[in-house]
Amino acid sequence: MTNNSLEKRKLGTQGLEVSAIGLGCMGMSHGYTPLPDRNEMIKLIRTAYDKGETFFDTAEVYGPFTNEELVGEAVEPFRKEVVIATKFGWDVANGNPGLNSRPEHIRIVVEQSLKRLRTDYIDLYYQHRVDPNVPIEDVAGTVGDLIREGKVKYWGLSEAWSETIRRAHAVTPVSALQSEYSIWFRDLEKHVLPTLEELGIGLVPFSPLGKGFLTGHIDNASQLDEKDFRRNLPRFQEDAIAVNKAIVDLIRKIADTKGATPAQIALAWLLAKKPYISPIPGTTKLVRFEENIGAADVELSQEEMNQINEASDKIEFVGGQYPEEVLKRMAR
């Protein structure tokens, strides 16, 4: 039985309502090593639901495919009570994933995702990455058709910039943008956030805890498993961590005064930023999930928000979001 204790927030102006803090499920079967036991992850998702969680994020490329299967099985007993967000946009089947948002491909993969998720509709369907070879208007039109057919309820974009968002929204109203956003990665604030506010689009920050860095538990790169994808990220190189730890020190100081944890401060900062923001921290541990949703009860004063913002502005973070060769391939 759900206690429905989690605050709800509206994403976009089309009617989508989600938990203020969602649950990113990627790490349950993809990206981080060692991978946890599948049955334990099903149990975690169901326990999260019992504690009021209703917003679960997955994607076909996570695994690939196994994460959607996991989420689908886990939420099947209460499917109509939750919001499932999944994503399209990769040509996964060939074993060497490349971008593919061609209309005919979207129509094929939506059926496959529906089957894996054990459902006849997807609540929130994101284009996982902007495909430079397919006009965004064609993508938006195709998803609009899926919405009219009842296979998709709402749609969104991931890692898109303002011009792309505007063009997509003009064809089929966008409910949410999912992009990396946190205290140590604030690139969206100058151009993208004003666009979302103007158009009435919600923001779902992934990696709201800086891929675990803002929790204060990572002091050096050697702590990461050799197969952990973060080993390849610029911000997790040894020299970068040494400099970037300055923001963690600040967050920890504020956390101590609030009787909270650094993770809770990082999430509370996002919740206080805008009422249309719903972060999706990922975890494979119940204790961390409980810690994360506890952030909804942490209130930051304007003075504390200003203190964090000003300190973040002054720190020259070392390392980009992704390796340079990856950034060059990303269309936005």
Q: Write the single-letter amino acid at 183.
A: I
How does strand 122-127 pair with strand 83-88?
parallel
Report the alpha-carbon distance of residue 120 to residue 113 in Å, rounded.
10
* DSSP letter string, 198-218: HHT-EEEEESTTTTTGGGT--
Domains of the chain are 8-212+263-298 (3.20.20.100)
Inter-residue contact 203 to 276 (CB < 8 Å): yes
How does strand 90-91 pair with strand 98-99?
antiparallel
pLDDT digits (tens, 9 = 90+) for 205-248: 999 999 999 999 998 888 998 888 899 999 999 999 999 999 99
Annotated catalytic residue within 32, 49, 62, 125: 62
Inter-residue contact 109 to 90 (CB < 8 Å): no
pLDDT at 4: 56
Residues of the chain with pLDDT under 50: 1-3
Cβ-based neighbours of 32, under 8 Å, separated by 6 or more: 225, 228, 229, 284
Q: Is 32 a known active-site residue?
A: no
pLDDT at 1: 43
pLDDT at 222: 87
